[in-house]
Structure formats: C-alpha cells, structure tokens
C-alpha cells in the first residue's frame, strides 16, 4: 500500500482510506430493510396508524432536523423517476396546487451527474450509495488539494478525514444537495492551483467543478462555493502582484479563473434557468437586508463551535425554543433566538479540527491567511458582522439565510487544521509543538472548567434572561420551561466533556512530539485519529443512523390514502385545520399525496406560484401560510364558489365534519376523508395558475432556454479544450525540433 521514498500512499491505498469513514457512517443503511433517510413516511399519519409497528421501528434514532429530505426531496425524486420511465416531461407538475414547475422546484439536482443513480435505482435505495460517494469525493478533493499545496501526507490524511467525518457536512448530509454544492470547493481550489502552476487543464477542470457545484440542486450554497473560489483567485493574484509579478500576469491570474467559473454557471443553466424562472413566479420575493440580518447568528456561536451539537441532539425532539440559543443571544435578538434552528445554528467543525485550526492559524504564517480569510468571511456573512448588511442589499447576495455561508467555513476549518498538523510534524518545530500543547491543554482545561463551574442553573438562567430581555421570570418559564432548560444544559455539558477529550488527545500528541526523542509523525497522528474516531462514532453517527422500514416499502399501500384518491377523483384536496399547521402535518403531510397520485392544494414547494397563493388568500387570508396555501380555517368557507372553481373535491380533517356539501368517505381516529360536492363540471375548474399567459408555457420556455445555454457552454468548453490541446501539441513539436537541432 505504501509506495515511494516519501512513504506516500498509493492511489488504491488512498481510496481505501477515504472509504473508511463513509462506510462506517453510511454502510449500515445499505443493509436489507434499511434506508439512508432521516425519517420514514410511515412516521406520519395516516400511514402511522395503519402500520404502527413499522412506525415505531422507524422512530428509533430518527433525525428530527432534516425532515425535508423526505418531503419534498424524496417525493420529487420519485416523481421524476416515474416520469423518466413513462417518457413524460419534467417541466410541469399538475398535482401541486393549480400546477407548478416541477424542474424549477426540484431541489435534489436531477442533472447532477451522480444523481443519475437515483433514476436507475429507486431513489430511497440510491440515497445511501450517493451519500458514500459524496463523502468520498469530499475527502478525495481535500486530499488532492492539500497535497498539491505541498502538505505532508499525515496533514492531508487528517484534513481529508476531518472533512469527511465531522462538521457541517455530516450534520447536513441528509440534505445531499447542500453538501454536494459545497464539497466541490476543494476540487475548484485544486483546479485553480493547477492553473497557477502552469497546468493547461486547470481552467477547464475548474469550469467542470463549478458546473458540478451549480448542478447539485442548491444554488445559494453553490454561489458561496464559487464566490470563495473567486476570492481565492483574487487574493492569490494580489499576492503575486505584491511579490513582484507583472500587473498583466496578476490580472490574468485573477480574471481567467473567474471567467472559468462563469462558464461553469453557463454549463449548469439547464437547471439554473428553470429554477430562476420558478423563483420569479413565487410570492416570497427578494428578502430585505433586515430580513436577511434577522436570520444571522449571534457572535457567540464562534464559541459554541468548540462543542458538538451544542443546541440539541438530532435524535431527540427539540423543545419549541432552544434554551442555549436564548442564553447566547444579544438583548436585541430575542425574537431571532426563539426561532433558532438546531441545525442552522450548529457551527461545530469537530473538536479536533477546531483546536488544530487554531494551532494552524497561530503557527502556519502566511499559508494560513487565505483559509483564515475564507472562514472569517463566511462567519462575517453568517453573523452579520459590521459592513455585511450593506452587501445584503445587492441582488444575488440576499437570496436566503446567511447561515448557508458556513458551507465555506466547513472547508476553511479543515484547511487550517491540516496546516497545523503540517507544521507540527515538520522539522525544527519544537516551539510550534510547545505552542500547540499549551493551547490544546488550555482548551481542555477550559472545557472542564466551563462544564464544572460555568453552566447556569435553571434559576440563574431565568433571572439572567429576564434582566437581559426586560421581561419577568414567569414569561421566561412560559417560553423556556425549567425542565427543557435543565436538559439542554446537561446536553451541552456532555458535549463539553467530549470536546475536552479531543483537546486532551491533541495536546498529548503535541507533547509526545515535543518531549519524546525520535518520535515521528505517528506520535501525533495516532492521538488525532483517535480523537476523530471518537467524534465520528459519538457525535457524527447519530445524525446518520439508518432508517428501519419495519419490513414495509418506503411508501406502502394505504387504505386511507386510497380513500383520499377516490374522494378527490380528478379534483384537489384541501385540509380543514383550524388549529394551524400542526393539524395540517397530521393530515397526510404535504407532498405525501403527490406520491399516491393525488392533487394537493397544500403542496410544500420551494417556489409556490403567486397566482395560486393569491387566489386562496382572497377567499380568506388565514388560508395562506408563508408563501403557500396551508388550510381551510373555517367550515362556512366550504360554500364559497371559488372553491368550486379551484376544483376542491376532498376535505381532510382530524374529526368528522357536518356540512351539506360533505360526505364522509373514510374514518379513522384523527383522520377523516370527506368527499366535497362541487357544483361545477371539471371543464370549468382552474387548470393552472390564473394569469394572462400560461404558466406552463413560461416554464417550458425556461427549460428550453436553459438547455440551449448549457449546450452553448458545452460547445465553448469543447472548443477551448481543443485549442489548448492543439497548443500543447505545437509546443511539444517545437521542443522536439529544438532538441533535435
């Protein structure tokens, strides 16, 4: 396995090493009856009542943070695969509301090349294999980039394994579209470094890597990935200029990679244009800078980054509000803290990566400047540092939650960590090892001290928050019950203990190198790898536990949903839910009906159609929830003739309803299906969102235009590569002629 004078792993050896973490984390999901899903459809009504044993099996270890992986991501994948098999267009989905763009709303990246596996296999069966591939690609790209930067093999190993097994990528892995858009950052930097080193293939490869990120299915994170590459190209070119390179060389080294990134975007237009077109049809609009800033993280999340899953465990139902989020929030951010999400607020890169990154920042000198700049910019964006709000005004920079920028920090942490390891194992590193041992030991002792003395009691917590937010203690208890507060800080204390173990192991490795005569890189690598193994097993694995289907299919046969289909017929379903969205979720969670072939007014979409939302909002404003249509809030609305025009033929409710238009079709505890009499023939029902122009035609034009732009990008790329190849042959022939003469 080991080859070469430097003890470098062979290509096969490296591949085997980089499969260890993915197979450990995802491999159990490949076993019969298991799936790589955070939750299973059977955990939702009415399937839960029909298959209680399977629902109980699926509940075990389910991830409470990432339910959108099933609805809408998995349901969309199933629909696209069905259409591929039947030869039906991907453009439009008539089962959503009055109809909506299918391709434009699909977030799982159907044109992302690896996702072709989800069209060949059933998407639920392909999910585990694709997750393994994602982690493998993430680790391989990291290793190749760090190796090209001249780091030692042990530094490359630690960086790659940390990138695969801890941090943002693991906690978001069920949202594969996010991770796939982010993991191409090291690949892009690898290609960029190749260009800067004189490799003619560098820029074409950069364009392909950029296209892969843009096709992954989550454009905002792809945007941060490409922006990070553009920043790297610019800063490296600026360094060239300051180092004595000509102005022309510096300008070319800055602008040529950015042009390659734009070519990558052009290549991905087949997905990006339909998505942009669907966004323009949506009522969500462009977030204001104030709205973007409202979603920013408090500065204190830099400190909680040292602790795994600081706010909540993924396998435990979180409280309505997160106590630790309120504890670290500034006095003017109370409302934001109450809406805190344990996934979005998790900035943890892995405890070993955290301390090694700090070491790298302190001892790696100029080599640490770029990863530090990328990480700092990511946190500046995510936390609304001074000056960032000005940038929130610019179109394209205000497209969503600023926390998505942490996808860049995911790689910046491990890059700095690898630099720290590289300096520790280098020659003449006694001072570096001393600094590392002192820092890691201080962090370990700090974790023990905070765990022992620094965490508040429930009474102290309540009084501190009452004073900070100018409310009484009773109001604090009503929002954050004492039991939830105690449990939250006990969980945080456990995370501090685990972080302290990792810090201590890194300190032990640095001390071994510092104090043991003749100690080699293994003296450092073994404790660090032990720390990583502990984190992967204890912290990362709970996010990715396999889903036991309990011996049934992912979407099993359902008498209740068959009754919904009979009651709806050619019409559409609406939910009577006076209690709000909680009742809606109990009545066949939105997008579940799509899989069973039923038209659903309350479908959950990335980009709902404005005309659909406005139609129902005009009936009663309470029907709108966010950007879409959620529910029927009152029974008297059943007589509204606009519901006839909307083709509403089925009403779901959690209790039997008495109304002259309704006939009970199916009854079960908490799930009642009513057929609604519609006084209009189907020919007079609304067939697609109202408007002067066909929304379906607009979606079709967007898809065609995107495909043409991608084709143009392919032609440009092919011509470019051909010209580079010809130039390379010409240079080779000239060199041969010179040698011959």
Give the Cα separation of 715 and 350 in Å (integer).
Answer: 43
- The pLDDT value given to residue 140: 98
The C-alpha R_g of the chain, in whole angstroms, comes to 28
Question: How much is the average pLDDT of 369-382?
Answer: 97
Find where tokens 């073994």 sit: 526
Give the Cα separation of 541 and 166 in Å (integer).
Answer: 10
Query: How many other C-beta atoms lie within 10 A of the C-beta of residue 740?
Result: 6
From 135-139, 544-548, 629-633, the region with the lowest mean pLDDT:
629-633
* 98 close to 685: Cβ distance less than 8 angstroms: no
User: Mean pLDDT in the chain?
Assistant: 93
pLDDT of 741 higher than 70: no
Find where tokens 């090209």 sit: 148
Read off the pLDDT band of 322 (50, 70, 90). Answer: very high
- The pLDDT value given to residue 266: 99
Task: Convert the pLDDT of each residue in 160-198 to its tens digit.
Answer: 999 999 999 999 999 999 999 999 999 999 999 999 999
Tokens, residue 549: 């289907």
Three-state DSSP class for 499?
Answer: helix
Three-state DSSP class for 107?
Answer: coil
* 585 close to 44: Cβ distance less than 8 angstroms: yes
pTM, 2 dp: 0.95
Question: How much is the average pLDDT of 542-548?
Answer: 98
pLDDT of 732 higher than 70: no
Three-state DSSP class for 319?
Answer: coil
- The pLDDT value given to residue 734: 53
Task: Give the closest residue to 488 by CA, choosing from 331, 305, 327.
Answer: 327
pLDDT of 733 higher than 80: no
Read off the pLDDT band of 542 (50, 70, 90). Answer: very high
Per-state percent for the chain, helix, strand, coil, to nearest 5: 65, 5, 30
Give the Cα separation of 717 and 410 in Å (integer).
Answer: 30
Separation of CA 681 from chain center: 44
Question: Strands (DSSP E) along 461-553, which ranges?
Answer: 547-548
Tokens, residue 148: 């090209």
Task: Convert the pLDDT of each residue in 598-608 to its tens digit.
Answer: 999 999 999 99
Task: Give the closest residue to 195 by CA, choosing from 243, 240, 138, 134.
Answer: 240
- The pLDDT value given to residue 291: 87
pLDDT of 2 higher than 70: no
Give the Cα separation of 161 and 124 in Å (integer).
Answer: 26
Read off the pLDDT band of 257 (50, 70, 90). Answer: very high
The domain locations on the chain are 559-684
Percent of the chain past pLDDT 70, that is, above it, reads 97
- The pLDDT value given to residue 737: 54
* 251 close to 237: Cβ distance less than 8 angstroms: yes
* 440 close to 504: Cβ distance less than 8 angstroms: yes
Task: Convert the pLDDT of each residue in 194-241 to its tens digit.
Answer: 999 999 999 999 999 999 999 999 999 999 999 999 999 999 999 999
pLDDT of 699 higher than 70: yes
Task: Convert the pLDDT of each residue in 578-595 to its tens digit.
Answer: 988 889 999 999 999 999
* 698 close to 692: Cβ distance less than 8 angstroms: no
Three-state DSSP class for 630?
Answer: coil
Give the Cα separation of 717 and 711 in Å (integer).
Answer: 10
Give the Cα separation of 739 and 741 in Å (integer).
Answer: 5
DSSP codes, 20-76:
HHHHHHHGGGGSTTEES-SS-GGGSTTHHHHSHHHHHHHHTT--SS-GGGIIIIIHH
pLDDT of 7 higher than 70: no
From 122-131, 376-385, 602-611, the region with the lowest mean pLDDT:
602-611
pLDDT of 45 higher than 90: yes
Task: Convert the pLDDT of each residue in 337-354 to its tens digit.
Answer: 999 999 999 999 999 999
Task: Convert the pLDDT of each residue in 10-30 to its tens digit.
Answer: 888 899 999 999 999 999 999
- The pLDDT value given to residue 731: 55
Task: Convert the pLDDT of each residue in 384-439 to its tens digit.
Answer: 999 898 888 877 777 778 999 999 999 999 999 999 999 999 877 788 999 999 99
Three-state DSSP class for 140?
Answer: helix
Cα–Cα–Cα angle for 369, 370, 374, nearest 5°? 120
Q: Determine whether 117 is exposed, middle or buried from the number of CB atoms within 10 Å of its CB (0-12, 13-18, 19+).
A: middle
User: HEC profile for 198-246?
Assistant: CCCCHHHHHHHHHHHHHHCCCHHHHHHHHHHHHHHHHHHHHHHHHCCCC
């Amino acid at each position: 396995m080991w080859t070469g004078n430097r003890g470098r792993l062979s290509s096969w050896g490296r591949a085997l090493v980089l499969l260890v973490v993915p197979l450990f984390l995802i491999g159990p999901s490949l076993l019969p009856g298991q799936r790589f899903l955070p939750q299973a459809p059977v955990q939702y009504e009415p399937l839960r009542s029909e298959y209680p044993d399977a629902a109980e099996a699926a509940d075990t270890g389910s991830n409470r943070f990432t339910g959108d992986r099933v609805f809408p991501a998995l349901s969309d994948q199933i629909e696209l695969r069905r259409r591929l098999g039947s030869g039906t267009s991907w453009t439009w989905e008539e089962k959503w509301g009055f109809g909506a763009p299918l391709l434009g709303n699909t977030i799982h990246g159907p044109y992302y090349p690896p996702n072709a596996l989800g069209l060949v296999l059933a998407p639920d069966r392909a999910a585990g294999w694709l997750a393994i591939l994602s982690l493998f690609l993430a680790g391989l790209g990291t290793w190749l980039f760090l190796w090209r930067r001249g780091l030692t093999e042990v530094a490359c190993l630690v960086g790659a394994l940390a990138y695969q097994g801890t941090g943002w990528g693991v906690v978001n892995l069920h949202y594969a579209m996010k991770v796939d858009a982010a993991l191409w950052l090291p690949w892009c930097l690898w290609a960029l470094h190749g260009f800067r080193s004189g490799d003619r293939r560098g820029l074409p490869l950069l364009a392909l890597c950029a296209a892969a990120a843009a096709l992954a299915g989550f454009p905002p994170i792809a945007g941060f990935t490409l922006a990070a590459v553009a920043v790297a190209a610019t800063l490296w070119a600026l360094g060239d200029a300051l180092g004595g390179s000509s102005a022309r060389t510096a300008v070319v080294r800055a602008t040529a990679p950015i042009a390659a990134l734009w070519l990558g975007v052009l290549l991905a237009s087949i997905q990006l244009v339909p998505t942009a077109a669907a966004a323009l049809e949506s009522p969500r609009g462009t977030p204001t800078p104030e709205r973007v800033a409202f979603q920013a993280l408090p500065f204190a999340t830099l400190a909680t980054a040292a602790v795994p899953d600081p706010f909540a465990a993924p396998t435990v139902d979180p409280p309505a509000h997160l106590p630790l989020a309120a504890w670290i929030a500034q006095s003017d951010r109370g409302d934001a803290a109450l809406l805190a999400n344990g996934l979005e607020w998790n900035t943890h890169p892995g405890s070993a990566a955290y301390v090694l990154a700090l070491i790298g920042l302190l001892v790696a000198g100029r080599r640490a400047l770029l990863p530090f700049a990328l990480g700092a910019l990511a946190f500046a964006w995510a936390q609304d540092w001074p000056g960032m709000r000005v940038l929130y005004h610019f179109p394209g920079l205000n497209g969503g939650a600023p926390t998505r920028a942490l996808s860049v920090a995911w790689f910046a942490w491990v890059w700095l960590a690898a630099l720290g390891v590289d300096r520790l194992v280098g020659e003449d590193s006694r001072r570096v090892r001393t600094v590392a041992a002192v820092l890691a030991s201080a962090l370990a002792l700090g974790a023990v001290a905070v765990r022992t003395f620094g965490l508040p009691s429930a009474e102290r917590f309540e009084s501190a928050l009452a004073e900070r937010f100018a409310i009484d203690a009773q109001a604090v208890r009503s929002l954050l019950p004492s039991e939830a507060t105690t449990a939250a800080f006990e969980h945080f204390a456990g995370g501090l203990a685990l972080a302290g173990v990792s810090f201590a192991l890194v300190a032990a490795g640095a001390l071994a190198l510092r104090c043991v005569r003749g100690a080699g890189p293994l003296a450092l690598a073994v404790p660090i790898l032990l720390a990583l193994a502990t984190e992967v097993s204890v912290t990362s694995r709970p996010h990715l536990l396999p889903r036991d289907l309990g011996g049934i299919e992912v979407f099993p046969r359902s008498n209740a949903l068959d009754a919904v289909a009979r009651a709806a017929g050619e019409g559409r379903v609406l939910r009577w839910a006076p209690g709000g969205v909680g009742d809606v979720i109990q009545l066949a969670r939105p997008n579940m009906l799509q899989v069973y072939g039923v038209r659903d007014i309350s479908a959950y979409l990335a980009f709902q159609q404005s005309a659909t939302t406005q139609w129902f909002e005009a009936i009663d404003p309470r029907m709108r929830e966010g950007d879409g249509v959620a529910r029927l809030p009152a029974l008297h609305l059943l007589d509204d003739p606009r519901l006839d025009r909307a083709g509403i033929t089925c009403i779901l409710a959690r209790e039997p309803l008495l109304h002259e238009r309704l006939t009970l079709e199916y009854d079960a505890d908490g799930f009642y299906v009513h057929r609604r009499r519609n006084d209009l023939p189907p020919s007079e029902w609304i067939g697609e969102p109202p408007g002067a122009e066909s929304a379906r035609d607009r979606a079709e034009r967007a898809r065609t235009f995107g495909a043409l732009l991608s084709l143009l990008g392919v032609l440009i790329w092919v011509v470019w590569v051909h010209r580079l190849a010809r130039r390379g042959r010409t240079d080779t022939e000239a060199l041969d002629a010179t040698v011959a003469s």
